[in-house]
Amino acid sequence: MRARSSTYPEPGRAGPASRLPGLTLAILLLTLGLRAGTGQAQYGNPGMPGGSDPVPGTSIGRPRFAIDAALQPGDGASEVRIDYRMGRDELLFERTGGGYSAAYEVRVIFYKAKGGGQVTGDAFEKSLRVKNYAETRLRGADIIDHVSMRVPPGKYKVQVVITDLVADRMSGAEIPFEVQEGAQSPIWFSDLSLGTVTDSSGTGGDPRDRFTPVPARRFGLDLPHIGVLGEIVDGRPVPAEGAQESYRIGVRVSNDLQEEVWKGDTTLVRAGARTPFLLRPRLRGLEAGSYRIALELLQPSVTLAGKKKPVAIRRERNFDVEQTSENLAWDSRTSLEVLRYVASEGEKAEMDRLEGPDARKAFWESFWRRRDPTPDTDRNEQQEEFYRRVQYCNQHFSAGIAGWRTDMGRIYIRLGAPDEVVRNPFNFDRPPEEIWYYYQSQRRFVFIDRDGFGRFEKDDKLSSAEE
């Protein structure tokens, strides 16, 4: 299967993918087993980098939803908790006695990462009832829930399909996940969940009551309210009544260049075999991009049996920060400059006349409001896809300058991932080259690394005339 390429539509028009019925996309996903493939030549297409940290998933059809997974410790088989978040306006409500109701099914299947054999699966039926039609369209009133399953140790591909039982349409997403063998350390962290803290007035009680998960791990205007939920699992004997033990946890947030952007620590009193916690890193003014939050147990130190030196007890999670009108103010000129790749000539002229951060902020907001394919929802899919591409370019094409400023970055942002990539790194009679093919638009772009330092520039003679 080749990756779909797409250009950005004119303001006020939906892109090509948004015109495909959600059910058609879902059937395609199910037919392919939800396994996204890409055409290959010598190398595969550019894609988001992987890692040991589980990656959240987002469906491409409707109903649109986001999922994330976390391992919760348990007796025997480990319990995997799958959080999902879905706007209620993604569901079709039908009128019933005294109100409106919707129903949907969440189907979860664990496949082996190698071989693809199904290990376990289950289906969960959910319902929602509201009093009036206006409540079926409330923006921001998302459905936030989870399902849990016990799964043996192993590496998996987890498929989640949500079916709107009233509209009879479905969509799916897939995420990799690993259930590790039993803990070798007497003290360890459970998986972390990222979300927002809805009530900061107190710290007593169960921290889960003040936490709202964000399965997509994408934060924008809600970044100042970000929270990290987890547990410390302690297999040591519980201290006698009246005695008290505590943990000291270090927290570090770094960007995709491994630069530290925030650091802190906190102390927790042990609550028994499992001590839940909810941490609040103060993350304000972060630029749009990818970040990683890492927790480390600083005290007490842990030494494994047969070892002399303490081991590091850590847990990490990736998350993304979206470009918003708030963090735009930190570097508004650069934040607008990248928009020129998809702006009209009239918008470019308007940008040239802008003076001051307030004017640039207002322009940025109206720019994306005009391009919102679903203005009645909280999401702006065109904006999300644009900044996903910018982020990818900065991660993969930077060579002395920001990746979005390079020739590769410009074309990737405008056209998306190529259908096919051919790399010729060891030419005898010419510099290394990379060729991108876009079959639907019949375009070819040839990039040459003339100085051998990875700075690929577009060769206009060998490339398509139009971008």
Q: Confidence class of residue 209 from pLDDT cuts 50, 70 and 90?
A: confident
Domain-located, residue 256: yes
For residue 140, what pLDDT is reported? 64
Are 122 and 235 part of one and the same domain? no
Out of 25-29, 125-129, 166-170, 223-227, pick the least confident: 25-29
The first and second tokens of residue 377, run together, are 């929802």
Domain that holds residue 147: 48-179
Residue 159 within a domain: yes
Are residues 128 and 68 part of one domain?
Answer: yes
13 within domain boundaries: no
Indicate whether 91 and 72 sit together in one domain. Answer: yes
Q: What is the largest CA-CA distance in the chain?
A: 80
Do residue 171 and residue 147 come from a single domain?
Answer: yes
Give dist(CA 160, CA 61) in Å, integer.
13
Residues 318 and 350 both lie in one domain: no
Residue 24 domain-assigned (yes or no): no
Report pLDDT for 99: 92
Q: Which of 179, 201, 223 is the endpoint of a domain?
A: 179
- Whether 6 is covered by a domain: the verdict is no
The predicted pLDDT at position 281 comes to 93
Residue 71 and residue 122 in one domain: yes
**Cβ-based neighbours of 221, under 8 Å, separated by 6 or more:** 324, 325, 326
User: Residue 177: which of 151, 158, 197, 162 has the closest Cα?
Assistant: 158
How many structural domains compose the chain? 3
Q: Same domain for 201 and 290?
A: yes
Q: Which of 160, 179, 198 is the last residue of a domain?
A: 179
Q: Residue range 14-43: average pLDDT?
A: 33
Whether residues 149 and 249 fall in one domain: no
Residue 102 phi, psi dihedral angles, 5° rounding: -135, 155
Last residue of a domain, one of 299, 322, 345: 322
DSSP summary character for residue 43:
B
188 and 317 assigned to the same domain: yes
Q: Are residues 363 and 306 in the same domain?
A: no
**CATH number, domain with residue 80:** 2.60.40.10
Phi-psi region of 461 (alpha: psi -120 to 50; beta: other; left: phi over 0): alpha
The CATH number of the domain where 308 resides is what?
A: 2.60.40.2550
User: What's the mean pLDDT when you consider all of the chain?
Assistant: 80
pLDDT in tens, 129-163: 999 888 887 766 789 999 999 999 899 999 999 99
Q: pTM of the predicted model, to two decimals?
A: 0.67
Q: How confident is the model at residue 37, as a pLDDT?
A: 31
**Which pLDDT band holds residue 238 (cuts at 50, 70, 90)?**
confident
Residue 108's alpha-carbon distances to 113, 160, 293, in angstroms, are 15, 5, 28
Q: With respect to residue 131, please indicate whether it lies within any of the assigned structural domains.
A: yes
187 and 312 in a common domain = yes
Identify the burial level of 379 via C-beta atoms within 10 angstroms of its C-beta, where 0-12 means exposed, 13-18 middle and 19 or more buried.
middle
Give domain status of residue 38, yes or no: no
* 200 and 119 housed in the same domain: no
216 or 15, greater pLDDT: 216
Judge whether 257 lies within some domain. yes
